[in-house]
């Protein structure tokens, strides 16, 4: 049973498609909707959490900005699920720990170290492994391969404080196999598991951790285009597998 309009994602039941892309940046949400979807309509702009629903290859898809960090992401994910979201894929950017990965390559996240406060509050301090569901992970990997986009699949670190005084804390995890760092995936994975929906993350590389600047804008844009296409094609694969092709009610 879908609930009433949520407090932050000001959509009505039926506005949100079962398949949802989650960029952090509201401007990127707008760009994705206008460049990848057809028959786009806006269902929310409240607090600049821009939300759009359209179709991709005939499949209903929503694009919803989350803002930066796990606290905002957790609110948005909880409310999207209350509006009927069933598969949520984060499409964002990341820093990487070595020179092996370079922009515009992608990181498809196999699991995320939950080094954030939001998941700790949900879990009450319990240890936890934040991972996407297998079907979504598999669909992302197959889609990246089919599109010919260079990528790696592996461990990510989710952190809260971009400007923490302890410089580059996340680099400690590189010795244990971590590829990348960002600020949202662990909360997405945890809440999706709790609420019984699917989730995944594909990231575009934008810098090496410790660098003072991001890579050239054209490389970032290429990575964003590739990760968006990868996620959308993953939705198409999942829909074909599960039969989830219904349109949002209107």
Q: What is the mean pLDDT of residues 29-41?
A: 98
- Residue 249: C-alpha distances to residues 79, 116, 143, 217 (Å): 17, 36, 28, 38
Domain contains 248: no
Domain contains 198: yes
Q: What is the mean pLDDT of residues 78-88?
A: 97
Q: What is the mean pLDDT of residues 65-78?
A: 97
pLDDT value of position 164? 76
Q: What are the contacts of 141-146 at 24+ separation with CB within 8 A? A: 141/108, 142/234, 142/237, 143/229, 143/230, 143/231, 143/233, 143/234, 143/237, 144/106, 144/108, 144/202, 144/226, 144/230, 146/233
Domain contains 8: no
pLDDT value of position 162? 84
pLDDT value of position 163? 82
Cβ proximity of 136 and 238 under 8 Å: yes
Domain contains 124: yes
Domain contains 112: yes
Report the chain's mean pLDDT, rounded to a whole number: 93
Closest to 225 in 3D by CA, of 170, 166, 144: 144
Per mean pLDDT, which of 6-10, 34-38, 97-101 is the most reliable? 34-38
Domain count, the chain: 1
pLDDT value of position 147? 98
pLDDT value of position 248? 47
What digits encode the pLDDT tens for the residues 143-198? 999 999 999 999 999 999 888 766 567 788 999 999 999 999 999 999 999 999 99
The whole-angstrom separation of Cα 132 and Cα 227 is 16
The whole-angstrom separation of Cα 20 and Cα 78 is 13
Higher pLDDT, 243 or 219: 219
The whole-angstrom separation of Cα 180 and Cα 193 is 22
The whole-angstrom separation of Cα 31 and Cα 218 is 15
Domain contains 171: yes
Q: Provide the pLDDT confidence category of residue 2 given band limits of 50, 70 and 90.
A: low
pLDDT at 117 over 80: yes
Q: What is the domain-level CATH number for residue 210? A: 3.40.50.1580
Domain contains 10: no
Query: What does the DSSP 8-state code read for residue 47?
Result: G
pLDDT at 250 over 50: no
Domain contains 56: yes
Percent over 90 (pLDDT), the chain: 82
pLDDT value of position 249? 47
- Name the residue range of residue 112's domain: 19-242
């Amino acid at each position: 049973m879908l609930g009433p309009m949520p407090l932050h994602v000001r959509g009505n039941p039926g506005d949100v498609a079962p398949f949802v892309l989650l960029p952090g940046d509201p401007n990127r949400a707008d760009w994705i909707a206008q460049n990848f979807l057809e028959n786009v309509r806006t269902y929310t702009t409240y607090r600049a959490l821009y939300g759009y629903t359209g179709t991709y290859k005939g499949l209903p898809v929503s694009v919803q900005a989350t803002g930066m960090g796990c606290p905002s992401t957790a609110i948005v994910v909880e409310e999207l699920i209350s509006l009927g979201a069933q598969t949520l894929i984060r499409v964002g950017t990341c820093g990487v720990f070595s020179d092996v990965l370079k922009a515009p390559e992608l990181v498809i996240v196999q699991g995320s170290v939950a080094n954030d406060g939001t998941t700790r509050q949900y879990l009450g301090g319990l240890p936890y492994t934040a991972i996407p569901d297998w079907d979504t992970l598999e669909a992302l990997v197959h889609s990246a391969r089919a599109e010919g986009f260079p990528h790696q699949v592996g461990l990510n670190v989710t952190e809260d404080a971009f400007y923490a005084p302890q410089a580059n804390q996340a680099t400690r995890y590189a010795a244990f196999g971590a590829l990348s760092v960002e600020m949202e995936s662990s909360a997405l994975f945890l809440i999706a598991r709790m609420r019984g929906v699917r989730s995944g993350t594909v990231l575009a590389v934008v810098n090496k951790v410790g660098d003072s600047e991001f890579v050239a804008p054209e490389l970032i844009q290429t990575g964003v285009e590739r990760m968006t296409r990868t996620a959308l094609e993953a939705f198409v694969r999942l829909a074909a597998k599960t039969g989830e092709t219904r349109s949002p009610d209107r």
